[in-house]
Homo-oligomer: A and B are copies of this chain.
Amino acid sequence: MTKTIAFVLYPGITVLDLVGPLQVLSAFAEFDPSYRVAVVAQGLSVLGTDTPLKVAPSHTFDQIPEPFALIVPGGGPPAFAALGNEPLLDWVRRAARTAEVVGSVCTGSFILGAAGLLEGRRATSHWGVRRLLAKFGATPVAERWVEDGPVLTAAGVSAGIDMALRLVERLAGEETARSVQLFIEYDPQPPLGPIDWAAADLSSFEPHSKAMLETGLADQPEMLARLMN
Chain A residues near B (Cβ < 8 Å)? 7, 14-16, 18-20, 22-23, 26, 37-39, 46, 50-59, 106, 126-127, 144, 155-159, 161-162, 165-166, 169, 174, 177-178, 181-192, 194-195, 197, 200
Known contacts A162-B189, A169-B191; is A23 also within 8 Å of B55 by CB? no
Residue from B7, B18, B26, B144 in contact with A187 in the complex, judged by beta carbons closer than 8 Å: B144
Known contacts A177-B191, A185-B155; is A37 also within 8 Å of B16 by CB? no
Q: A126-B185, A187-B197 are in contact. List 13 more A-B contacts (CB 8 A).
A: A16-B184, A18-B53, A37-B51, A53-B57, A56-B56, A144-B189, A156-B185, A157-B183, A161-B188, A182-B195, A182-B200, A186-B195, A188-B188
Known contacts A155-B185, A177-B192, A185-B159; is A46 also within 8 Å of B53 by CB? no
